[in-house]
Amino acid sequence: MFNVTSCVIGVFGAETDEIVSAMEGDSFTLRTGLTEIQRDDEIEWRFGSSKTRITRIAAGNITTYSDEKFRDRLLLDRQTGDLTITNIKNEHTGVYQLSIIIRNKKSTMRFTVNVYAPVPIPVIFSDTSQCALSAERSSRIFLCSVLNVSHVTLSWYKGNSLLSNISESDLSISLSLPLEVEYQDINSYSCVVNNPVSTQTRHLDIIQLCQIHSGSLNSVLCIFVKVFL
């Protein structure tokens, strides 16, 4: 479960904002900062630019309003007024407005919620010819790629040191980032893809990659020789 604990609302009558991130598919909680609601207190949650009312507590009673987008997803804590959205989706990205009335004094708070899909594990590959002819080259180039992603950063690391990165916010694109490695380099390299809610890492195994590619190339060469003869 990926929860966000909000700051306690301060002076009543003030309006504050908070930006939070959620992972798609998680149950996500927006917190009021209150510990116990009294019977005369009122809590109301609204969503979107139209400020559509989605749920409220008044006189100790919870009311959830009809909205197809949030059907069977909203849980309102009767004691604190915290709002939980279960199985949150990208369509739940937006602004949530919280209104609290205690002893006839009103306070409001806005949460801007950004929902992200978990990132996939990146893939590393190299040009077959570079591996096969590695003895004649001083370096080789590896490419790290990730498909169908948005709002991510793709990075190469040497140990714990960042070497290079590239970021993209467009929806559903593919990202690739090259890395040139000296032939006799025995350092540890890894490719990391991350967004605000998740991270995946692929470690570079130079020997394994080149064994796979070299083996494939040798098979092709053997077949070619037999046919030629």
What pLDDT, on a 0 to 100 scale, did the predictor assign at position 64?
94
Strands 52-58 and 61-64 come out as antiparallel
List the structure tokens of 168.
């993209």
Query: Which strands make up the sheet holding 83-85, listed edge to edge?
Result: 28-30, 83-85, 74-76
What pLDDT, on a 0 to 100 scale, did the predictor assign at position 104?
86
pTM listed for this prediction: 0.75
What pLDDT, on a 0 to 100 scale, did the predictor assign at position 220?
29
Name the fold adopted by 123-215: Immunoglobulin-like (2.60.40)
pLDDT along the chain (229 residues), means of 10: 37 66 96 92 94 93 90 94 96 96 92 95 78 62 90 95 90 84 84 96 81 42 28
HSE-CB at 55 with a 13 A cutoff on CA atoms is 20
Strands 83-85 and 28-30 come out as antiparallel
Class (C level, CATH) for 15-116: mainly beta
- Helix (H) or strand (E) holding 221, with range, is helix 206-228
Q: Which amino acid is at 70?
A: F
Q: Are 130 and 140 a contacting pair, CB within 8 Å?
A: yes
List the structure tokens of 227.
């046919």
Q: Are 160 and 147 a contacting pair, CB within 8 Å?
A: no
Rg (CA), the chain: 26
Output the CA torsion 64→65→71→74 (10° steps). Answer: -30
Buried residues in 159-188 as b, exposed as e (16+ CB within 10 A): eeeeeeeeeeeeeeeebebebebeeeeeee
Domain with CATH 2.60.40.10 in the chain: 15-116, 123-215
Which residue is associated with the tokens 């559509």?
52
**DSSP at 81:** -
What pLDDT, on a 0 to 100 scale, did the predictor assign at position 149?
86
